Amino acid sequence: MLKLAVLISGGGSNLKAIIEAAGDPLYPAEVVCVGADTDAAGLAHAAAAGIPHFVIRPSDYDSREEWGMALAAAIQEHGVGTGPNPGLVVSAGLMRILPAGFVREFSPNLINTHPALLPLFPGAHAVRDALAAGATETGVTVHVIDEGVDTGPVLRQSVVEIREGEPEDGLHERIKQQERPLLVDTIRQIATGELDLSQFS
């Protein structure tokens, strides 16, 4: 069973999808903890499922690196990132760049989901940027996190056509409808060894 630490900042619909998938005894991964950088609404999904959760705020630390080390320690307390079965850290809507020290601590067992077809539209406003660029399609990317911003090796992608005059929130919601099953399935593939992250170490 692959142990997951899921990191969020917002509503946590991806987290909810992972928790629901893991409710199936045949799903090969379980969420052992959920971390956030703020009082994210999505923490309620962890609470409802009885999953340990915590908030580690950057404003409580002198530097991003120190925040990252505190976040890493909180995750490691739940057995992710330690021992022979280090599990997987899943950034599922965490709206912060994970500092280099944090990435080195967990690499390569560290993935992110991003609402665009990377390398197009990295960063915090991927859906808005795709619309502003006049793109006719965008999508979602699940990738291994490296020390860059949305630059790590791509594991899976799914394309979403952009509709004429579509608002940002509507497009983002349609992206998320494809994102949730893609992320759930990518985690399954990592858990079964179908996707081998050790090639990225």
Q: With CB under 6 A as the contact rule, which of the stretches 31-39, 68-76, 113-121, 155-163 interacts with ligand GAR?
A: 113-121
Q: Does 42 bind ligand GAR (CB under 6 A)?
A: yes
Contacts of residue 98, defined as CB under 8 A and 6 or more positions apart, other chains included, come to 68, 71, 91, 110, 145
Q: Give CA–CA dist 125/173, Å, rounded.
A: 14
User: Residue 18: helix, strand or coil by DSSP?
Assistant: helix
Sheet containing 110-114, strands listed edge to edge, beginning at the edge strand earlier in sequence: 53-55, 29-36, 2-8, 88-91, 110-114, 137-144, 154-161
Q: Do 192 and 183 touch, CB atoms closer than 8 A?
A: no
Q: Give CA–CA dist 31/23, Å, rounded.
A: 10
Q: Does 131 bind ligand GAR (CB under 6 A)?
A: no
Residue nearest to ligand GAR (CB): 93
**Phi, psi (5° rounding) for residue 70?**
-65, -40
Alpha carbon distance, N-terminus to C-terminus of the chain: 21
- Closest CB 177 distance from ligand GAR, rounded Å: 10
Query: Is 45 among the catalytic positions?
Result: no
> Which of 89, 92, 103, 191 is close enough to bind ligand GAR by CB under 6 A?
92
Q: Give CA–CA dist 99/106, Å, rounded.
A: 11
Please check if 14 is assigned to a binding site: yes
Q: Does 82 bind ligand GAR (CB under 6 A)?
A: no
Q: Give CA–CA dist 168/132, Å, rounded.
A: 10
> Which of 19, 29, 110, 113 is close enough to bind ligand GAR by CB under 6 A?
113
Q: Does 12 bind ligand GAR (CB under 6 A)?
A: yes
Please check if 95 is assigned to a binding site: yes
Please check if 11 is assigned to a binding site: no
Please check if 96 is assigned to a binding site: yes
Please check if 75 is assigned to a binding site: no
Q: With CB under 6 A as the contact rule, which of the stretches 10-18, 51-59, 75-83, 156-164 interacts with ligand GAR?
A: 10-18
> Which of 45, 114, 143, 188 is close enough to bind ligand GAR by CB under 6 A?
114
- Closest CB 114 distance from ligand GAR, rounded Å: 5
Query: Which residues are near ligand GAR by CB under 6 A?
Result: 8, 10-14, 42, 92-93, 95, 113-115, 124, 126, 176, 179
The set of catalytic residues is: 114
